[in-house]
Structure 1
């Protein structure tokens, strides 16, 4: 695993998920001094004490500053680093889940809210690993963590130098590669059984030409309206759930 720069985890549900993850290195817990205690705050205090973490009670202004004025809900964790995984880690994760690998490959996703939302759906649909590029794309940040609602702690994220080379490696391992585009097979017909990777392109430009050449098949989402495109995380969510449906038929 490789470490990213130090960061913060913001918001109650992401904080609970991080505290429950024994592998996450946490430096300090910041709790708003006049926060109203409820079941979630009590759980945060309990988990923090179990891990022998320092709980610093601070004014709201301090949390506003630490979170860059995001909605922190009265609690922030200072963590040593977000962790990135390797392809081998994701294969081990798939083995632990007792399933064939299901990769989500994100080509130059720039919006941290989109990445966080995709991680959340990936966790719900049994994706065993998310692959992102190191350049021209958002990485794992506190905004991503909050948008993921804790999924960042459960879905391995791999950061690679070259997506084309990584996809070629996956193909050599027997993985079928599926991309999303305005032209392709109706996504509702997608059979995602076996080792598969779903590629989602950039919010505005889609999948890059060199990466698109590596696709075994393109999938499209039919639309009736005049706007022939969806938000990247919405499109990814629809196709991931089709993958889930085909892999877990009733």
Structure 2
């Protein structure tokens, strides 16, 4: 019908039809690109995993701060301040009995007590030591995986002396200086045994080089049986140079070696100011240190099955013979 073509609803307004547009394919590709890979749950701020991650980081930060306040770095055996940790019931008990300067005692929660732990707690209480109760995982980290049996003790860094301090100690005693110098002794247990012998036979101190040498660690404290608190230990940057300075101060330097010129028991310089140099069991003394010695002395060994003595035993025998001659 002709009338129907003029109905207002059937009339399309000019420009209302959407025709093809330039770049419509590009619009479609942009719509399909998306927003990239989905972030992890712990990286999405609205997700519960994100809140758990933040809480864990906050706890870890607080634990590190507490460890720093105690002088101990988590996950390591010693702190940046040189603090050492003694682990194990027997070791801690022996350290308490021998007056090792313990600064803190760590005990695991829900510890199964025995006679050793009871004595440890009793001595720690009598000495007024800080007692810290920690979890087993924390104690594992503190002792760096050692067998701690639920008990550990913190030992402060050792205060090393100078060579002049050893001479001052000898002058204060009114006796000729007797100093032990170690060349290449790297086992702290040997150092501890030498400190114990030095204290027993009247030595005025022990001299060690800064590098390639054992220091006064927790192991040395323990083996010394408290002697480390009474026998000063000096450190030298260059051992040969330090021996030269002691010679200028009037000391004779005697090196211990299997092929010596004299036997230790017959040492003619025993009553004079003396420095006894002990080398490592394997290599002995270094060339420069050996050249500094005035005399090379030996300890006679009867058995052919044993070629040499370790540094701790050799030092003990030599100091005993010297002390006997001085008496």
Q: TM-score, normalised by structure 1?
A: 0.82
* Contact 1:17-1:153 within 8 A present in 2 as well: no
User: What is the match of residue 124 of structure 2?
Assistant: 44
User: What is the match of residue 113 of structure 1?
Assistant: 189
Aligned residue pair count: 237
User: In the aligned structure 1, how far is the partner of 2:167 from the partner of 2:256?
Assistant: 23
* Contact 1:131-1:160 within 8 A present in 2 as well: yes
SS in 1 for 2:212: coil
**As a proportion of its length, which structure holds more helix?**
2
Mapping for residues 118-129 of structure 1, pairs under 5 Å: 118-129=194-205
* Contact 2:281-2:309 within 8 A present in 1 as well: no
User: What is the match of residue 308 of structure 2?
Assistant: 229
Deviates more, 1:130-139 or 1:182-191: 182-191
SS in 2 for 1:182: coil
User: What is the match of residue 13 of structure 1?
Assistant: 94
Give the direction of change, closer, same or farther, for the CA distance of 1:61–1:194 in structure 2 (3 Å limit): farther
SS in 2 for 1:218: strand
SS in 2 for 1:223: coil
User: In the aligned structure 1, how far is the partner of 2:173 from the partner of 2:299?
Assistant: 29
Deviation, 1:29, is 2.2
* Contact 1:4-1:84 within 8 A present in 2 as well: no
* 1:163 aligned onto 2:239: yes
Mind listing any 5+ residue stretches in structure 1 that lack a counterpart? none
Mind listing any 5+ residue stretches in structure 2 that lack a counterpart? 1-79
Give the direction of change, closer, same or farther, for the CA distance of 1:165–1:116 in structure 2 (3 Å limit): same
Give the direction of change, closer, same or farther, for the CA distance of 1:15–1:31 in structure 2 (3 Å limit): farther
* Contact 2:178-2:204 within 8 A present in 1 as well: yes
Give the direction of change, closer, same or farther, for the CA distance of 1:69–1:233 in structure 2 (3 Å limit): farther
Q: TM-score, normalised by structure 2?
A: 0.64
**As a proportion of its length, which structure holds more strand?**
1
User: In the aligned structure 1, how far is the partner of 2:180 from the partner of 2:81?
Assistant: 20
Deviates more, 1:75-84 or 1:228-237: 75-84
Q: Deviations over 1:40-66 (max 9, x none)?
A: 63333211x2xxx42124577766654
Deviates more, 1:65-74 or 1:102-111: 65-74
Q: Deviations over 1:153-175 (max 9, x none)?
A: 12111111100100000000000
User: What is the match of residue 320 of structure 2?
Assistant: 241
Deviates more, 1:32-41 or 1:77-86: 32-41
Higher relative contact order (CA 8 A, sep 6+): 1
Give the direction of change, closer, same or farther, for the CA distance of 1:4–1:174 in structure 2 (3 Å limit): farther
